[in-house]
Amino acid sequence: MVGYYGNFCLGIALLLSLIQTLGIIPNPMSRLSRPACQTANLFTTASFISLVILFLANKQHYGVVQQNVEDSFTYMQRLFAIWQNHESIMLFYAVAITGFGTAYILMTKKTISDLLARSVIGAQGFVQTGLYIYILFFASPFDVPVEASHAYAEINQPPLYIHHFVLYLGYVATSVIYSLVLGILLEGKRIKAWVTFSLPWIKFSALTIATGLLLGHFTYFSKPTDWTSIEINAFLTLGTCAVLLYLVKHVQENHLFKKGALFLGIVTFYKAFVLNILSHPLYNQSVASVSSKSRDLFFILGYFTFGFFVTSIMFLARIKQSYEENQT
């Protein structure tokens, strides 16, 4: 029953996310984008709580619990087992991304134009929609195969899970940077507006990723040769955030820095968020079969490649417009 409730909450969150996405284009429904984002966060959080209950109650007829929890586990070990599988982590991603969207709404309620806010929230809805579809139809922790084999991993590694948790927060925070780029391109606002509202999120993403890497260094990965693909991706993302911070702080000094900052904002999101989702099933436990994993990857790759294609066209159109304005 709890599992059905979790899937139901995800379905409602998907519908709300679709409504939120309408904010990308000005229309009568776009005014609903803000409450839709906040309500989606509530339903997604309720879904994640349902998953926690399944793990704590050791509901073995759910494949994701069957594969990660043993009867002898303590309640604390069952909580840590949530972080050992791909499906649960993707649900956490959904909670975090809607949470960051809600935080953005609250932070900019009185300091940003209504049209820009709707476009940014709508762009965030586009990212959320892809993630919800992926979870519901390809990586749901509530209806995975019952025939999943037992594959218990070592649970007594709390610092490792905290290390990953902090890194994932940094990855997801880049979605707001990307949404701000889309909002600026859609509304034709000046780069200065993007710098003002994206700088806190760039700093937050860089700080959380750096903190996660330090936690990993002092616990399990004392040398770079011990890093997994998670740590390598985090280090590269931290590098792009550092370059992005430099461009943002010197954006008024060079015309190329303006366009470079916008483009790197797009790249940072795809490097951190999308690439991590693409590679995650390959190194993390999942109850899905190999063929199912391939379908997962094709969906994520296709969905976000479409997003990258559209964003790139808008970015090139912005460059052309700027060039024509300079010529006149």
3-state per-residue secondary structure call for 60-98: CCCHHHHHHCCCCCCHHHHHHHHHHEHHHHHHHHHHHHH
Residue type, 280: H
For the cut 90, the answer to whether the pLDDT of residue 46 exceeds it is yes
296-305 pLDDT per residue, tens: 778 888 898 8
The SS3 assignment for 246 reads helix
Tokens at residue 243, please?
Answer: 């370059």
Q: Which residue has the tokens 């990965």?
A: 221
Q: How many domains does the chain have?
A: 1
% pLDDT > 90, the chain: 29
Residue 95 sits in which domain range?
2-327
pLDDT band, residue 283 (cuts 50/70/90): very low
In the predicted model, is pLDDT for residue 37 greater than 60?
yes
Q: Would you state the pLDDT for residue 281?
A: 52
Instruction: Please choose, from the candidates 3, 172, 7, the residue with its C-alpha nearest in 3D space to the C-alpha of residue 101.
Output: 172
Given a contact cutoff of 8 angstroms between Cβ atoms, the answer to whether 23 and 119 are in contact is yes
- Provide the β-strand partners of residue 160: none
How many CB atoms are closer than 10 A to CB 17? 30
Query: Which residue type sits at 309?
Result: F
Give mean pLDDT, residues 91-117: 83
Paired tokens of 276: 């991590």
285: β partners: 85
pTM of the model: 0.87
C-alpha separations of 222 from 157, 209, 214, 219 in Å: 15, 16, 9, 7
